[in-house]
Amino acid sequence: HCLLVMLTSTSQWLGIARSPGIMHADFEVHRNWLAITHNLPLSQWYFEATSEWTLDYPPFFAWFEYVLSHIAKYFDPQMLVVENLNYTSRATVFFQRFSVIFTDTLFIYAVHECCRCINGKRAAKDILEKPTFILAVLLLWNFGLLIVDHIHFQYNGFLFGLMLLSVARLCQKRYLEGALLFAVLLHFKHIYVYVAPAYGIYLLRSYCFTANNADGSLKWRSFSFLHVTLLGLIVCLVSALSLGPFLVLGQLPQVISRLFPFKRGLCHAYWAPNFWALYNAMDKALTILGLKCNFLDGTKIPKASMTGGLVQEFQHTVLPSVTPLATLICTFIAILPSVFCLWFKPQGPRGFLQCLVLCALSSFMFGWHVHEKAILLAILPLSLLSIQRAKDAGIYLILATTGHFSLFPLLFTTPELPIKILLMLLFTVYSFSSLKSLFRREKLLLNWLETIYLIQLVPLEIFCEIIFPLTSWKQQFPFVPLLLTSVYCALGITYAWLKLYVSVLTERVPVRQKAE
Partner 1 sequence: MEKWSLMTITVLLALTVRWAVSLGSYSGAGKPPMYGDYEAQRHWQEITYNLPIRQWYFNTSDNDLLYWGLDYPPLTAYHSFVCAYIAKLINPDWVALHTSRGYESQPHKLFMRTTVFVADLLVYIPAVILYCFSLKETSAKKKVSSALCILLYPGLILIDHGHFQYNSVSLGLALWAVLCLSHDWDLLGSVAFCLALNYKQMELYHSLPFFCYLLGKCFKKGLKGKGLVLLAKLAGTVLVSFAACWLPFGTDVEQIMQVLRRLFPIDRGLFEDKVANIWCSLSVLIKIKNVISPRTQLKLSFAVTFLSLLPACIKLTVQPSLRGLKFALVSCALSFFLFSFQVHEKSILLVSVPVCLIINEIPFMATWFLLVSTFSLLPLLLKDELLLPYAVTTPAFLAVCLASFSILEKTSAEDLQLKAFSLSLKGYVSWFKSFPRIVRSLFLLSLALMGVLSVLSAAAAPPQRLPDLFPLAVAVVSCLHFLLFLVYFNVVILWDSKNRGQKKIS
Smallest gap, in angstroms, from Cβ of residue 472 to partner 1? 19
| Of residues 112-151, those binding partner 1 (CB under 8 A) | 126, 128-129
Based on the shown chain and the rule CB under 8 A, indicate whether residue 71 belongs to the binding site for partner 1: no
In the bound state with partner 1, the residue whose beta carbon lies nearer, of 425 and 458, is 425
CA 21, CA 197: separation in Å to the nearest integer?
Answer: 40
Smallest gap, in angstroms, from Cβ of residue 7 to partner 1? 8
- Cross-strand partners of 349: 347
Smallest gap, in angstroms, from Cβ of residue 358 to partner 1? 30
Per CB under 8 A, which region of 3-11, 50-58, 70-78, 386-394 contacts partner 1? 3-11
Based on the shown chain and the rule CB under 8 A, indicate whether residue 88 belongs to the binding site for partner 1: no
The string over 78-95, giving b where at least 16 C-beta atoms fall within 10 Å of a residue's C-beta and e elsewhere, is: ebbebebeebbeeebbeb
CA 352, CA 72: separation in Å to the nearest integer?
Answer: 40
Among candidate residues 140, 157, 139, the one with its CA nearest the CA of residue 148: 157
Other Cβ atoms less than 10 A from the Cβ of 236: the count is: 11
Spatial CB neighbours of 62, under 8 Å, sequence gap ≥ 6: 33, 37, 45, 55
* Cβ atoms of 37 and 12 closer than 8 Å: no
Among candidate residues 169, 385, 367, the one with its CA nearest the CA of residue 268: 367
Q: List the one residue from 230, 282, 419, 491 that touches partner 1 (CB under 8 A).
A: 419
Among candidate residues 438, 408, 360, the one with its CA nearest the CA of residue 167: 360
Number of residues written out for the chain = 516
Based on the shown chain and the rule CB under 8 A, indicate whether residue 91 belongs to the binding site for partner 1: no
Based on the shown chain and the rule CB under 8 A, indicate whether residue 430 belongs to the binding site for partner 1: yes
Residue 212, classed as helix, strand or coil, is strand
Smallest gap, in angstroms, from Cβ of residue 433 to partner 1? 4
Q: List the one residue from 20, 244, 261, 308 that touches partner 1 (CB under 8 A).
A: 20
Based on the shown chain and the rule CB under 8 A, indicate whether residue 217 belongs to the binding site for partner 1: no
CA–chain centroid gap for 48, Å, is 27
Smallest gap, in angstroms, from Cβ of residue 10 to partner 1? 5
How many residues bind partner 1 (CB under 8 A)? The answer is: 29
Per CB under 8 A, which region of 18-26, 179-187, 287-295, 346-354 contacts partner 1? 18-26
Residue 485 buriedness (CB in 10 A; 0-12 / 13-18 / 19+): buried
Based on the shown chain and the rule CB under 8 A, indicate whether residue 206 belongs to the binding site for partner 1: no
Based on the shown chain and the rule CB under 8 A, indicate whether residue 469 belongs to the binding site for partner 1: no
Per CB under 8 A, which region of 156-164, 263-271, 286-294, 432-440 contacts partner 1? 432-440
Half-sphere exposure of 466 (CA within 13 A, CB side): 9
* Cβ atoms of 63 and 79 closer than 8 Å: no
In the bound state with partner 1, the residue whose beta carbon lies nearer, of 419 and 460, is 419
Smallest gap, in angstroms, from Cβ of residue 94 to partner 1? 8
Based on the shown chain and the rule CB under 8 A, indicate whether residue 295 belongs to the binding site for partner 1: no
Range list of β-strands (E), 65-186: none
- Contact residues toward partner 1 (CB under 8 A) are 3, 6, 9-10, 13-14, 16-21, 126, 128-129, 414-415, 418-419, 422-423, 425-426, 429-430, 432-434, 437
